[in-house]
């Protein structure tokens, strides 16, 4: 029987597997704290107080020291864990690579300090320098003029006079720290640097998980009347092939990207006419089509097609570029709000660095202050509100917008903001769509692509149906209320990563930095259960331990620039 089975072979799973397989990761010591996914020693200042992690890191950087994991002699030795990772393709990061190829994404959205190696913050930078691949780094754009009058950029660096112009500080723009790694560079880093370095090739098995069944501890006379003490001895993970894998603990490192979770607008379900399936597709279907046609690039639109893209996120910008490259004559871009430009998913770059801060909806968004308010908030309902306000829906990166500007100027791309589809009808006679918009305009064309994302609803995830039945928990509008260490429920050693963990991790849970944060918590919990508890750890004052833990979470995300 396995100790840990991870479902999914993406970036979050890769980060967690690195921590679980690496013997240097020994968390839980009262003399250490987890920062940036690694364990750092706390040094004492002259007055006897512990220095902050940020000051320690700055001092190390000035001294030219590397961020390496620190082993502690007073820590009990931990026997190796038996770990397997089950993935559809049987190779690390393959789905990510295919999705990037399907949408022709040239580079990652996160900069070089945010990646999948939790044991070395500078690993990606070192890989770039060692292999002389600086040419594959994309600098932040220096100046972009925003043509759309409804476009909005959330950035306090700009004065009123230049509010339509996005500019990045030249030193930041040219810095290796804030460069965006190309797709091919990132994939090579994952496979050549991390997978090989930490010997993670052998733990991956090919398969598709069909069910996760908790095998319960036999009920005793005492427990029969106390359902709260129900406990899962292990999990039986059934694959579509019929094979069953038994594991004491299971980690779900998959996101709500399945077809059944695609966010389909109500006007689509209201269409009464039958229409060809390929004439209205969600991006989940488009990416699946690309994965099926692995050898040849699928032509999902024809030359001269008139296309409508619905949605205002980065995916919509990518598929618009994709359609125009495949010969679409005109694309109409429909979004319900303004065209929002953000370098990263959560906050703008200056806010993350901490040089500027601003208040939105009563929340001070300077990174540290926001996280402290989030982690101190006990109401999960309020946390959910904070998450939605921080992300503010879909946003496009400045460089993606810059690539679309020539098409906007030429009229090949028409941007319609504060606009929604009111009604859609399919004409058999003309073999085209007849669309009514909320702006009282009408549109006719050949294809509609929905870039409306996926709706998070844990109750619709078939993999969790057996777990929900045996261990029901509070679910807020589809978001699971899991424990602080991302465990499903007491007695049920199932852990969640990605967007499912957002109520505990924060609005960045789905990002690479969120993967590092989730991995640190889960690895700490699993290692703690795997060894005999240290008496020093259990003797700590509970209140003090909780406060120290929250500060560690805050410092960890601050070190990752909260991306």
Task: With respect to residue 508, please indicate whether it lies within any of the assigned structural domains.
Answer: yes
Q: Is residue 168 part of a domain?
A: no
Tokens at 322, concatenated: 């994709």
Q: Are residues 540 and 435 in the same domain?
A: no
The CA distance from 461 to 509, in Å, is 18
Render pLDDT for 398-436 as a digit per residue (tens, 0 to 9): 788 888 999 999 999 999 999 999 999 999 999 999 999
* Domains held by the chain: number: 2
pLDDT given at position 301: 84
Beta carbons of 523 and 485 less than 8 angstroms apart: no
Please give the average per-residue pLDDT across 242-264, as a whole number: 85
Q: What is the pLDDT of residues 146-183, one digit of tens each?
A: 555 555 444 443 334 444 444 444 454 456 666 889 99
H/E/C letters for each residue in 367-434? Answer: CHHHHHHHHHCCCHHHHHHHHHHHHCCCCECHHHHHHHHHHHHHCCEEEECCCCEEEEEEECCCCEEE
Does residue 444 fall inside a structural domain? yes
> Residue 282 maps to which CATH number?
3.50.50.60
* Rounded-to-integer distance, Cα 291 and Cα 101, Å: 9
Examine the domain organization and report whether 434 and 485 are in the same domain: no
Q: Do 444 and 478 fall within a single domain? A: no
Has residue 277 been placed in a domain? yes
Q: Are residues 477 and 414 in the same domain?
A: no
Confidence of residue 465 (pLDDT cuts 50, 70, 90): very high
What integer pLDDT is reported at residue 44 of this predicted model? Answer: 38
Banded pLDDT at 122 (limits 50, 70, 90): confident
Q: What is the pLDDT of residue 535?
A: 39
Q: What is the pLDDT of residues 295-350, one digit of tens each?
A: 444 457 889 999 999 999 888 999 999 899 889 999 999 999 888 877 766 654 43
Please say if the pLDDT value at position 447 is more than 90: yes
Q: Is residue 122 part of a domain?
A: yes
The predicted pLDDT at position 562 comes to: 44
208-244 confidence digits (pLDDT tens): 999 999 999 886 644 444 545 789 999 999 999 999 9
* Residue 83 pLDDT > 80: yes
Q: What residues pair up with 415 in beta bridges, in sequence order? A: 333
pLDDT recorded at residue 299 = 57
| 441 and 518 belong to one structural domain | no
Least confident of 73-82, 377-386, 485-494: 73-82
**Per-residue pLDDT reduced to its tens digit, 374-399:** 888 999 999 999 888 777 667 888 78
Residue 532 is predicted with a pLDDT of 53
Give whole-number Cα distances, 217 to 231, 464, 470, 473, in Å. 6, 19, 12, 19
Q: Residues 190, 280: one domain?
A: no
Angle made by CA atoms 352, 354, 359, in degrees to the nearest 5: 85
Angstrom distance (rounded) from CA 420 to CA 423: 9
Mean pLDDT of the region 530-538: 50
| Structural domain for 46, as ranges | 2-138+181-204+457-559
Q: What is the mean pLDDT of the chain?
A: 77
Q: How many residues does the chain have?
A: 563
Answer whether residue 172 is part of any domain. no
Give the per-residue pLDDT at 547: 59
Same domain, residue pair 195 and 332: no
CB 127 within 8 A of CB 28: no
Q: Decide if 302 is inside a domain.
A: yes
> Angle CA(491)–CA(497)–CA(500) in degrees, nearest 5?
90
pLDDT of the residue at 326: 87
State residue 228's pLDDT score.
54
Give the pLDDT score at 78.
57
Per-residue pLDDT, 77: 56
Same domain, 407 and 330: yes
Q: What is the pTM of this model?
A: 0.78
In a domain, 163, yes or no: no
Same domain, 445 and 403: yes
Residues 120 and 16 in one domain: yes
What confidence tier does 85 reach under pLDDT thresholds 50, 70, 90?
very high
Are residues 432 and 318 part of one domain?
yes
* Those residues with Cβ within 8 angstroms of residue 132's Cβ, 6 or more apart along the chain or in another chain: none
Q: Which of 450, 476, 492 is the last residue of a domain?
A: 450
Is the same domain home to 298 and 413?
Answer: yes
């Amino acid at each position: 029987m396995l100790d840990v089975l991870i479902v999914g072979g993406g970036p979050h799973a890769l980060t967690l597997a690195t921590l679980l397989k690496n013997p240097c990761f020994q968390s839980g010591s009262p003399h250490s704290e987890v920062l940036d996914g690694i364990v750092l020693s706390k040094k004492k200042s002259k007055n006897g107080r512990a220095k902050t992690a940020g000051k320690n890191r700055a001092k190390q950087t000035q001294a030219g020291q590397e961020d390496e994991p620190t082993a502690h002699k007073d820590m009990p030795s931990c026997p190796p864990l038996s770990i397997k990772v089950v993935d559809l393709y049987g190779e690390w990061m393959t789905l990510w690579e295919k999705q990037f190829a399907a949408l022709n994404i040239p580079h990652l959205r996160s900069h070089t300090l945010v990646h999948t190696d939790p044991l070395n913050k500078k690993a990606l930078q070192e890989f770039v320098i060692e292999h002389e691949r600086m040419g594959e780094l994309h600098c932040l754009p220096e100046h972009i003029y925003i043509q759309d009058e409804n476009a909005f950029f959330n950035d306090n660096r700009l004065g009123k006079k230049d509010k339509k112009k996005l500019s990045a500080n030249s030193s930041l723009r040219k810095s290796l720290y804030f460069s965006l790694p190309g797709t091919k560079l990132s994939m090579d880093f994952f496979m050549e640097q991390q997978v090989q370095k930490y010997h993670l090739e052998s733990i991956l098995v090919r398969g598709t998980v069909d069910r996760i069944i908790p095998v319960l501890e036999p009920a005793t006379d005492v427990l029969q009347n106390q359902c709260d003490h129900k406990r899962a001895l292990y999990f039986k993970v059934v694959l579509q092939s019929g094979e069953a894998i038994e594991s004491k603990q299971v980690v779900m490192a998959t996101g709500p990207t399945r077809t059944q979770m695609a966010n389909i607008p109500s006007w689509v379900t209201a269409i009464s006419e039958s229409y060809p399936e390929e004439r209205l597709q969600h991006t989940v279907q488009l990416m699946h089509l690309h994965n099926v046609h692995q050898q040849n690039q699928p032509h999902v639109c024809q030359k001269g097609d008139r296309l409508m893209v619905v949605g205002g996120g980065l995916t919509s910008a990518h598929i618009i570029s994709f359609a125009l490259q495949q010969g679409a004559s005109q694309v109409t871009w429909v979004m319900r709000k303004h065209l929002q430009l953000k370098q990263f998913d959560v906050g703008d770059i200056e806010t993350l660095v901490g040089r500027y801060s601003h208040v939105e909806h009563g929340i001070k968004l300077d990174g540290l202050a926001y996280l402290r308010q989030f982690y101190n908030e006990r109401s999960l309902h309020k946390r959910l509100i904070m998450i939605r306000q921080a992300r503010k829906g879909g946003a496009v990166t400045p460089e993606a917008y810059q690539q679309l500007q020539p098409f906007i100027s030429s009229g090949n791309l028409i941007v319609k903001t504060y606009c929604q589809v009111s009604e859609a009808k399919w004409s058999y006679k003309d073999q085209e769509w007849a669309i009514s918009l909320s702006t009282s305009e009408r549109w006719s064309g050949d294809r509609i692509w929905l870039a409306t994302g996926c709706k998070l609803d844990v109750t619709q995830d078939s993999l969790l149906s057996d777990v929900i039945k045996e261990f029901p928990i509070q679910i807020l509008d589809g978001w699971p209320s899991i424990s602080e260490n991302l465990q499903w429920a007491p007695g049920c050693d199932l852990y969640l990563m990605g967007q499912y963990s957002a109520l505990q991790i924060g609005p960045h849970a789905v990002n690479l930095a969120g993967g590092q944060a989730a991995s640190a918590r889960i690895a700490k919990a699993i290692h703690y259960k795997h060894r005999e508890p240290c008496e020093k750890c259990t003797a700590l004052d509970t209140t003090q331990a909780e406060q120290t833990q929250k500060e560690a979470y805050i410092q960890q995300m601050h070190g990752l620039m909260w991306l």
